[in-house]
Amino acid sequence: MPIDTFDAIVVGAGQAGPAIAARCHREGLRTAVIERAEFGGTCVNDGCIPTKTLVASARAIHLARRGEEFGFATGRLRVDFARVMARKEAVVAQSREGVEQWMRGLDKVEVILGEARFVAPGRLRVGERELRAPRIFLNVGARAARPPLDGIDRVPTLDNHSILRLDTLPRHLVIIGGSYIGLEFAQVMRRFGAKVTVVEKSARLLPREDEDVAQAIREILEREGVRFELGAECIALAPRQSGIAVGARCERRPPRLVGSHVLLAVGRQPNTEGLNLGVAGIETDPRGYIRVDEQCRTSAEGVWAVGECNGRGAFTHTAWNDHEVVVANLFDQDPRRLSDRVEAYALYTDPPLGRVGLAEAKARESGRPLLRATLPMHRVGRAREAGETQGLMKAVVDAQTRQLLGASLLGYRCDEAVHGLLDLMSLKQPVDGLIRSMPIHPTVSELLPTLLQALQPVKD
């Protein structure tokens, strides 16, 4: 078989790969982009974009239900799930087509459809073709983990891919996993009218967040009718005439919970097992994530791993930042590092949770003297005006350096407001400059100086 030689190969057209391919094109490198499924990967097709589009529909419906509070009457609301999903698909298709057209429009880039796997160091096979390049960028992403639950192969289950392709609303959705994916779907589906139960093996939701924050999110969702089974051990699934029985306790008696659908939302696993990485000398960790250094270089010369498959971030912005780090080092003589970035993300429940840096519990583990401040969202004028007073803001600061260590902002528009604190941390500035700033009124961000003015030493 003749081997086709490229200057660069990108495997996976997710969040980092296409941007790297575009930069290779600008550098005059003949580049192959190999994609086995849909352009744009998880974020565009199965993750951020479809879920946030559904969050927007769910919020519109929720606000319409609250019409009396705002001074209007709608009569009885009827949710048309098919139209909600069609709207979602239109937004997704626009992004997916945008990525594909972008790649196909670059004359130095060849798009190859198919699944790539290594056959030798620096050499990949896709279908009938064999390709090689001195630079290979792996951007293969991750997929929903399938836990070895008792009975899981005897019942149909959903994951983040298949739930986004339903054409009718589940009557009773049981969600296994009470973390980011589970909670976003829980609220959305509840607002569309489904009965929703979340089954979580930990004693509380969102094990990576602070307990007070997780509890506040739980209360917000419970007020809307989402039910929770926490500390659920021995989860077992079984077919029933009326749906799927979910046993959530180590009990002998028959399970009480019967759902029409079960969604698995218990974490992710990298798409690395089919790549034949061993033959190319590319090391993985015990969970299958590709080991990389601070520039996303793998253990094999000339091979980089970017995005979720390198285990250094599970977000679109971390994948995009990986691309920036790689091209800065390769083409711009700019020694950017993965460790330069400040961890930040949002959970898109409504209201959202904006997070930056360490949670308070993690900051306490560091043993350093801390300052802490909290502020309930009902103190925020903009939130009161909007009738959105649920949630709280919390910041943790190093008492000696006065640098912000982390913040959790749960409330109206907090996914945006948290960027003021992210900027402060990225610029490595103490909190005092922000405390003395003059924010715009009325905004949610105007309360950030007020929050920081309330810092007090953490005693215990």
Ligand X SMILES: Cc1cc2nc3c(=O)[nH]c(=O)nc-3n(C[C@H](O)[C@H](O)[C@H](O)COP(=O)(O)OP(=O)(O)OC[C@H]3O[C@@H](n4cnc5c(N)ncnc54)[C@H](O)[C@@H]3O)c2cc1C
Ligand Y SMILES: NC(=O)c1ccc[n+]([C@@H]2O[C@H](COP(=O)([O-])OP(=O)(O)OC[C@H]3O[C@@H](n4cnc5c(N)ncnc54)[C@H](O)[C@@H]3O)[C@@H](O)[C@H]2O)c1
* Residue 43 one-letter amino acid: C
C-alpha to C-alpha distances, 33 to 10, 14, 120, 324, 418, nearest whole angstrom: 5, 11, 19, 18, 35
| Closest to 405 (Cα-Cα) out of 442, 334, 349, 458 | 458
CA distance 304 to 127: 22
Q: Which of 96, 268, 312, 394 binds ligand Y (CB under 6 A)?
A: 268
* Residue 398 one-letter amino acid: D
According to the binding rule CB under 6 A, does residue 14 interact with ligand X? yes
Q: With CB under 6 A, what is the number of residues at the site for ligand Y? A: 27
C-beta closer to ligand X: residue 37 or 435: 37
* 175 annotated as belonging to a binding site for a ligand: no
Q: Which of 44, 346, 377, 405 binds ligand Y (CB under 6 A)?
A: 346
The contact pattern for ligand Y, residues 192-231, with x = CB under 6 A and - = no contact, is: -------xxxx----x------------------------
Q: Which of 7, 27, 30, 37 binds ligand X (CB under 6 A)?
A: 37
C-alpha to C-alpha distances, 287 to 60, 91, 207, 305, 363, nearest whole angstrom: 40, 33, 20, 15, 27
C-alpha to C-alpha distances, 295 to 225, 251, 288, 321, 454, nearest whole angstrom: 46, 50, 19, 11, 39
* 89 annotated as belonging to a binding site for a ligand: no
**Shortest distance (Å) from residue 184 CB to ligand X:** 7
According to the binding rule CB under 6 A, does residue 12 interact with ligand X? yes
**Shortest distance (Å) from residue 209 CB to ligand Y:** 10
| Closest to 225 (Cα-Cα) out of 270, 263, 193 | 193
Strands 261-264 and 123-126: unpaired
CA distance 204 to 185: 17
CA distance 235 to 159: 17
Selection from ligand X, ligand Y, none that 275 binds (CB < 5 to 8 A by kind) is ligand X
C-beta closer to ligand Y: residue 31 or 272: 272
**Shortest distance (Å) from residue 131 CB to ligand X:** 12
Selection from ligand X, ligand Y, none that 209 binds (CB < 5 to 8 A by kind) is none
CA distance 275 to 289: 12
Take residue 238 and report the two structure tokens written for it: 């079984």
The contact pattern for ligand X, residues 168-197, with x = CB under 6 A and - = no contact, is: -------------x----------------
Tell me, yes or no, if 25 is annotated catalytic: no
Residues that bind ligand X (CB under 6 A): 11-16, 34-38, 41-43, 46-48, 51-52, 115-116, 139-141, 160, 181, 271, 274-275, 307-308, 314-317, 319, 348
Residues that bind ligand Y (CB under 6 A): 147, 149, 176-182, 184, 199-202, 207, 232, 235, 265-268, 314-315, 345-348
User: Which positions are annotated as active-site residues?
Assistant: 441
- Annotated binding-site residue numbers for NAD(+): 177-184, 200, 267
